[in-house]
Structure formats: C-alpha cells, structure tokens
Structure 1
C-alpha cells in the first residue's frame, strides 16, 4: 500500500466534521455548481461526441448516390445507387467490432494512465482513423477507418460516464452522466444537419466529403481542453496520490476545506476496503456469484436499448424513411434528432427529480405500445395517413427512448457496480452493447431491405416483443439509485434488498456525529454504531418495520 495512503488511513481527519455545510444562499441547498464544475462536466461529457457524430453520419451518407457510386457502384437488384443489404450490414455492423475491443482495452488504460490521459489517448487514436475515412480510396479502406475509430470511441464511451461519476457530487451524478447523452445526441443532430445542408448545396463529392471533414476535425477539438481537466480523485487515491486527489476535489467542489477532507476520507476508506477484499482484481470477477446480479443489471441496459426499436429511427432512419416514401428523408432525420435532444435535455432534470426507476418503467411501457402500434400500421403503408402516422410515432419514440431508456443505459454501469469492479463492468456494458448492435445491424437489413426480407416497418413488432420482456425484467431488477452513495448501493446489495423495495430504505447514523468521527478512519468499518439501515414508509414518513432494520458493515 502506498505510504501516503497508509498515513491518511491511520489518522483521523483534523478538525471537526460538525462544521456548517456550504450552502446556496438563495436555495438553502448545498452548493454543487461552479464555473469549474460546469466546464469539467461539459468537457468530459463531450467524450461521446465522436460516437454520436460518426454513427449519425452513416445513415445519410449511405443514402447519398454519389457516396454509393464511389464505394459500390449501381445496385443490380434495384437498378439505382443504393447499397445492397450485404454492404449495408458491412458498413453499419463491422465497425462496431472495434468498439468492443476499445471497451475491453479501456480498463487497462485507465488503471495505468488514469481517466484523463486515457481519454486523451482515445482522441489521439481517433485522428488517423477519421482521416482514413475522409480519404479512403475504396469501401474496404473506409470500413477499416470506421473499425479503428470504433476502437477509439469504444474506449472513450467506457471512460466518460465513470469519469463524470467520480468528479461530481452524488446529488447531481445522474444529471451529469445524462449530460453526456445530450451532447452525444447534439453531435447526432449536427451530423444530420451537415449532411442535409451538403446534399442541398453541392452536386459533387463534396456532399459526403464535407461531413467526413467535420468528423475528422472533431478529435482535435476534443483533445485541446482535456489535458487541463482534474484527474479522477478516486483514481488518485487508488494510486496513493492523496495530495493530487485533494486538489482535484477542490477544483470540482465549491465547498469548505473540511467538507473536502470528509469526502476524501470516504474515498480513502472505500479504497482500503477494496484492497482488503481483493489484492488482485480480474475482469472475470464481475461474473462471480457475489457480483453476477449487479453485473447483469448494470451492464444490460446499454445492450437492451439496441433491441428497443430505436435502430429503425436512427441508424437506418434515412434509408428506412426513404422506403416509406415520406418527403425529404434528411429533414425527417433532423426532426428525429430534435426529438432526442428534447428527451435528453429533460432527462438531465428528471433523473434527479423523478428518479431512475420511476422514470424508466413508465417509459418502457410507452415504448412497447409505440412499437406495437407502428408495427401494426405497417400493414397499411399503402395509405398515406398510415405512413405519416408511423413517421409521427417514430418521432415520439425518439423522445421517450432518449428520456427513459438511453438516459439510464450508461448511468447504471457507472452507479451500480462495487468500486473495485466499476471499470470492468463499464467495459462489459459497452462491449455487450456493441456486440448486440453488431447483431441487430447485421440482421436488420436482412429483415427490412427490399432486396431481402422486405418487412420494413413491420419489424417494429419484433422490437415491441423485446420491449415487453425488458419492461417485466426491469420491474423486478432495476433499483432506484437516486441520491444513493456508492457505499449505500453496496450495502443494499449486500443485504439482498429486492430492487423494487430500495426506495423504502434509508441510511441513518445510529449515534452522534461526534462519536462516529472520534473513531479512527481505518477502523470505522468495525464501529458497530456507525451506520443503520431502516425500512421507511415514504408516504407516512415513519418507520414501518423495525425488525428489518439492520446494522451495516462496509463490505464489497
């Protein structure tokens, strides 16, 4: 154990922890925001922009005749410049393999370099990848560039949510991680608008070269501010850099020094317990009997959102809407992303005001109904009104999916895992999600394309069935983590509290604050009066089952 970490653990924090909390004078609430916090959150949240931009470029690019002419030539089945079903599968799905490897490499990079410099490394690798796509002489080179960039943004996607969860206070953790979703979708919108504008104003190769040029410039812009961010205080403590962790907290906590020391000691205690539990942590630990349920719940939502039906409204949106014969497909794609921006913006507030579970479950029901309705209407696409109704339902789907499903997809793997397995669980979530995306993007053209299965919008019925199953599973397995610290989440799982009952439990101190903090930090977990968990009836605000109260010991 590094000496600096040991010294901190063996002595209590100097000063009194009964000091007055820094408060916002207008709201009467603890202060959490400052300009430094805002800049840090926005910069880290932009880590998903490369993913959002590239994936949103591909749908409109694949619908541009000039792009198809360069990389494939005429489609002999349809007698026009459209990609065949097999080429659609290659363009959309093979690059996702790079994302899986990027997610798997991410934990090892983060352990060695930290979150900040791992993010910088991902951006640097994205530069030659996007340049290759820009100047690719053929389809094989273009796909190779996409695979390489997938490696970069798979790594960045794994880092961003964890980095945000590390640097922001618990009270805004959900909103901060959701802000990454918003900026990713804004990148989607920028890609759609860029493709729409070039399609209208150019009649040559600039139609697709300009959007690809914008993509190639993005890694440079992201790389500029990232080295100036504070490092994750959690990573600093893990490496014994207590002073650096303290300075990082000071940059992202507009509170008193005493409050910073208190939070630092909490991080140090958690790290000591992590080391006591396991000297060596392996990727396979996330599948151990003790952690399997947490891994499945935390890691599943990013994968399951791929089979919700959103792929019909995003990745294949332009191609799909063209098949329906609905006006300008590029304009409709812009509308779809505007709906997602609205959902992502509302999610930032709703996750903290409403909660994760309370937001997700009703949203899942709505998505199931929309899938079934759109799939049913697809049998009547000969009617202009039916086609318009499907288009409208797709827009509503985009809004609710972003608000209720996408908002928790990367939040859960940043909140639910125990501290020592967070990196690996996030990598599993990204890798599993992209593996699911590979399957869906390979299968969907074979199901929907006119030269293959020709189901078109009827495929919504398949996704509706998937959403029904997801809704049932979420009811029993998705816990409410709003306002919960990582320690509290550990204890709720350790005491096997059913997910649907988490909101009925709160943690409280069993003795006076002065007595608790008189105990040396290194031995706090053995202090039997330190923490109590009580079942509470929120409606009546009173204790309803004293027998369920339990003294909690810290354990991973």
Structure 2
C-alpha cells in the first residue's frame, strides 16, 4: 500500500517533480568546476603557463601559493554570491536569480578561456564563483518551495547528486584532454562550462515557473496562481486551497517583520541560523574539498599512477550512495543518517592519517589510502553531503528565510575556502609536508561533528515547512522534534 501510495503521489505531482529535477541541473556547474580544476593543476601546459622552472627538479612546477590562490579564489566568489543571494532573490526571485547566475557563468568562463595571465584567470574564477554561490542558495530554496512535501528531501538531495555528476564530468573531460601538448588541454575543460547555461536558460524561459510563494510575497496573485497551475496541473480545487494556505503564510510573515539582527539573537531565528551555520561548517570540516579540488594532485603526490582514472572511479562509487541517501533520509530521518555518516567519515579519515605516519611507502600502503578515500566518498555522500542541504533548506523558514539560507550557505563557502586555501600549505613538501597525515585534522573535526549532531540537530523529516517553524517557535528541544510533531 505504501508503494502504491508513493506511485499515486508521483503521478499526481509529476509536473512539480519534473520541474524540480530540471532546476537541480544548475548544480552541475558547481560540481564540474570543483573537479576539472583539480585535473588541470596536473597538466604540463597549464603548469608551464602559470608555474615556474625549478632547477632542483629540472622541470616546471606550481608553487603552493599559486595552487592555493587559483584554486581557492573561486570560494571567495562563492561566499560573496551566497551572501548577496538574499538581495538577488529579493529583487529578481528564485528563478530570476538563476538567470543572473547563468550570465555570470558565461562571463567568468570567457575570462578564464581567454586568460593569458594570472590576473585574468583569477578574475574569471572569481566571477564563476559568484555564480555558483547564487546557485547554491537559490536552487535548494526553489526546490523546497515547489516540491511536494513527500518528496522534498529526495528532490533537494538531487542537488548533491547533480554536483556529483558534475564532478564526474569534469574529470572525464580532463582525462580526454590531458595528453594535448598545447593550451587546449586546459582551455577546453574551461570552455565546457558554457554548456550548463545553454541547457538551463531555455528551460527557465519555457516551462519552469517562479516560486508561487515568492510571487505571493510580492503581491503577484495571478502570477502565483499561474505558477501553481504549472506545478500542480489543472486541479482548480487544489490550487485554490494552496493559494489560500500560502497567502495566509505570507501575511503572517509580513506581520512578523524580519531583520538581519534576528539572526544574531538567541531566539527562534538565531537558533536556526546557528544550526545552519554549524551544519555547513561541519560538512566542509570533513575536508571534502581536498578530494574535489586537489584529488588528482593528492594521488599523484603519494605515488599513485593513473590518478585521473582513480579520480573518475572515485566519483562513480559515490553515485549509488547519493541515490541511497534519497531513500534513507526519508525512511530513517536526517538526524540518524547524519550521525552515521559523520561517524564513518571520522573513522576513515583517521585511518588515512594513520597510514600517513608509516616511515616508508609501500604499494600496500598506497592502496590502503586510495581504498579509504573511496570509502570516504561513499559514506560522505550517504548523508553528510546531500542531507546538509536538505536540512538547511528546511530549517530556513519564516520571514527571514532568504537571510537564513544565505547565511548558512555563505558559511559553507567560507569554510570551503579555508580548506582549499590551507590544504597545499598543510600537504605539500615545500610547506608543512603532512601528506596523508592531514587525515588526522579532518578526522578529529568529524568526531566533534558526530557529537554535535547527537546533541543539537533536530529531526525535520516528514514535516511541512510551516510545522517546522511552529516547533522552533515553541522552543522544542532538538531530540524531541520528531515526537512533538507526531
């Protein structure tokens, strides 16, 4: 009966599901950029163009500072994009903001492809980062607004799945161009990013509506009704019922005027801001960016051959875990899955750190590290990757919804920048030279994250956004959320 009910729900809500699936395509941009740049850092033409000749090795190298700056600068753009997403959303809407992000993708890509010096390359990556920052806020908000409550967790999780597909595509393109001896080896992967706005923009123009909730908040009643017609189909009674419900919610939010100051007080929104900020910080504390941004360099440095193929396999094994997450976060809840994921990620990272303490390298040791990194990608994507976006979009409720989402997502990008910027200095031999022992740093953070999730994270699965808001208003303790809603 449960299965039939789910099938019936899919049939009834197929329009909204398809539209939400399409919107998550924007996440490809995020994933692709993270992985393709990792590959070009190891390409000889790129190293010659932006590195320097090292007399000790008799070849060209990229210094830790160049690796750090060119890789992490995109996170600075993402931080600005996430913070300003509230203003973009307020002015143009969720859908309109995706047009803005698409424009910045095009401009940023052109700058990178045309770059013949470090300044232009950095500018292009900064602009592209701004676009990704907008995407990371607006896509989860759009999906949370438009998805049927029953499938909201799974559809928001697809954001992470499409990030994973983008990661995979980036390495595949790199692997296809790595043997070129000219600048095409790295310019072609850069140019591929133009594909994503070419796919997204026509769909936004033709069939993806603006969020009905956002339209009602701007007094655009008839446009909101048309948006619901696209999402729900020709079901007049349901549409009018939802219009009445959403209108009441919007009016209630207007009566309770929100402000940035509310996020700094320990009240309803202050608690939500703290939870969103902490969740995003813990996700990046796993060190995921040392795999996505430096994975190929990491594997090459510890002595692994065919590092490009290893990286492709790494992203492939993560795909089933993301799909499994979409079932598990609904069946077992966000909180339990995050507890399991954080605990397993901590274990794997501590093993990697331990392997890095071995006095001499062996083939068995290298394989152990690679195996642990593969397991890392599986257990990370089982919950810590996708479920964080689900929970932050769900707790971002009430009049400060856009501000809450912008704040938590900006935290993600700031912490992402910290990991990306510091990793070369921690890992490389010309700096701290920790190599695989960096696992101790990220593993310890994940132990702390597991404890934090147990004590502070509320369960938000199976509840409407408005029910979640009521629980926060009542000050329900984290571990009583589920039973109170029942």
With the shorter chain as reference, the TM-score category is over 0.9
Deviation at 1:405, TM superposition (A): 0.3
Deviation at 1:172, TM superposition (A): 0.7
1:366 pairs with 2:306? no
Deviation at 1:76, TM superposition (A): 5.1
Q: Go from structure 1 to structure 2 and tell me whether the alpha carbon gap of 1:25 and 1:52 turns closer, same or farther (over 3 Å shift).
A: closer
Q: Go from structure 1 to structure 2 and tell me whether the alpha carbon gap of 1:409 and 1:33 turns closer, same or farther (over 3 Å shift).
A: farther
Q: Is contact 1:378-1:458 (8 Å) kept?
A: yes
Deviation at 1:227, TM superposition (A): 2.1
| Corresponding residue number in structure 2 for 1:453 | 432
| Runs (5+) with no aligned partner, structure 2 | none
Deviation at 1:111, TM superposition (A): 1.2
Deviation at 1:403, TM superposition (A): 1.6
Q: Distance in 1 between matches of 2:130 and 2:4?
A: 46
| Corresponding residue number in structure 2 for 1:336 | 314
Which one of 124, 134, 144 corresponds to residue 145 of structure 1? 124
1:326 pairs with 2:287? no
TM-score, reference length from structure 1 = 0.83
- Cα deviation, 1:210-232, whole Å, max 9, x if unaligned, reads 21121233322322212231110
Deviation at 1:355, TM superposition (A): 1.6
Q: Is contact 1:32-1:169 (8 Å) kept?
A: no
Matched positions, count? 482
1:119-198 mapped onto 2 (5 Å cutoff): 119-198=98-177
Q: Helix, strand or coil: the match of 1:452? A: coil
Q: Go from structure 1 to structure 2 and tell me whether the alpha carbon gap of 1:38 and 1:506 turns closer, same or farther (over 3 Å shift).
A: closer
Q: Go from structure 1 to structure 2 and tell me whether the alpha carbon gap of 1:224 and 1:497 turns closer, same or farther (over 3 Å shift).
A: same
Q: Distance in 1 between matches of 2:242 and 2:231?
A: 12
Deviation at 1:158, TM superposition (A): 1.0
| Corresponding residue number in structure 2 for 1:223 | 201
Q: Go from structure 1 to structure 2 and tell me whether the alpha carbon gap of 1:362 and 1:117 turns closer, same or farther (over 3 Å shift).
A: same
| Corresponding residue number in structure 2 for 1:481 | 460
Q: Helix, strand or coil: the match of 2:305? A: coil
- Cα deviation, 1:49-72, whole Å, max 9, x if unaligned, reads 222111111111101111110122
Deviation at 1:170, TM superposition (A): 0.9
Q: Go from structure 1 to structure 2 and tell me whether the alpha carbon gap of 1:154 and 1:327 turns closer, same or farther (over 3 Å shift).
A: same
Deviation at 1:35, TM superposition (A): 4.7
Greater shift, 297-306 or 392-401, is seen at 297-306
Q: Is contact 1:75-1:84 (8 Å) kept?
A: no
Q: Go from structure 1 to structure 2 and tell me whether the alpha carbon gap of 1:236 and 1:423 turns closer, same or farther (over 3 Å shift).
A: same
Deviation at 1:377, TM superposition (A): 1.2
Q: Distance in 2 between matches of 1:242 and 1:32?
A: 27
Q: Is contact 1:127-1:219 (8 Å) kept?
A: yes
| Corresponding residue number in structure 1 for 2:273 | 295
Deviation at 1:143, TM superposition (A): 1.0
Q: Is contact 1:413-1:422 (8 Å) kept?
A: no
Q: Is contact 2:159-2:386 (8 Å) kept?
A: no
| Corresponding residue number in structure 2 for 1:412 | 391
- Cα deviation, 1:434-484, whole Å, max 9, x if unaligned, reads 111222222111110011111111000111110011111111111111111
Q: Is contact 2:161-2:319 (8 Å) kept?
A: yes
Q: Distance in 2 between matches of 1:28 and 1:351?
A: 18
Q: Distance in 1 between matches of 2:153 and 2:17?
A: 15
1:282 pairs with 2:259? yes
TM-score, reference length from structure 2 = 0.95
Greater shift, 435-444 or 316-325, is seen at 435-444
Q: Go from structure 1 to structure 2 and tell me whether the alpha carbon gap of 1:237 and 1:362 turns closer, same or farther (over 3 Å shift).
A: same
- Cα deviation, 1:100-137, whole Å, max 9, x if unaligned, reads 11112211111121111111111012211101101101
Q: Is contact 2:149-2:464 (8 Å) kept?
A: yes
1:394 pairs with 2:373? yes
Deviation at 1:500, TM superposition (A): 1.5
1:259 pairs with 2:234? no
Q: Go from structure 1 to structure 2 and tell me whether the alpha carbon gap of 1:126 and 1:33 turns closer, same or farther (over 3 Å shift).
A: farther
Q: Helix, strand or coil: the match of 2:485? A: strand
Q: Go from structure 1 to structure 2 and tell me whether the alpha carbon gap of 1:27 and 1:417 turns closer, same or farther (over 3 Å shift).
A: closer
- Cα deviation, 1:351-376, whole Å, max 9, x if unaligned, reads 22222112111111111111111111
Q: Is contact 2:105-2:193 (8 Å) kept?
A: no
Q: Is contact 1:52-1:185 (8 Å) kept?
A: yes
Greater helix content: 2
Q: Distance in 2 between matches of 1:377 and 1:254?
A: 56
Cα RMSD of the aligned pairs, angstroms, is 1.9
Deviation at 1:77, TM superposition (A): 5.9
Q: Distance in 1 between matches of 2:137 and 2:56?
A: 41
Q: Go from structure 1 to structure 2 and tell me whether the alpha carbon gap of 1:57 and 1:36 turns closer, same or farther (over 3 Å shift).
A: same
Which one of 463, 471, 486 corresponds to residue 450 of structure 2? 471
1:47 pairs with 2:17? no
Q: Distance in 1 between matches of 2:364 and 2:61?
A: 26
Q: Distance in 2 between matches of 1:405 and 1:256?
A: 38
Which one of 75, 89, 103 corresponds to residue 82 of structure 2? 103
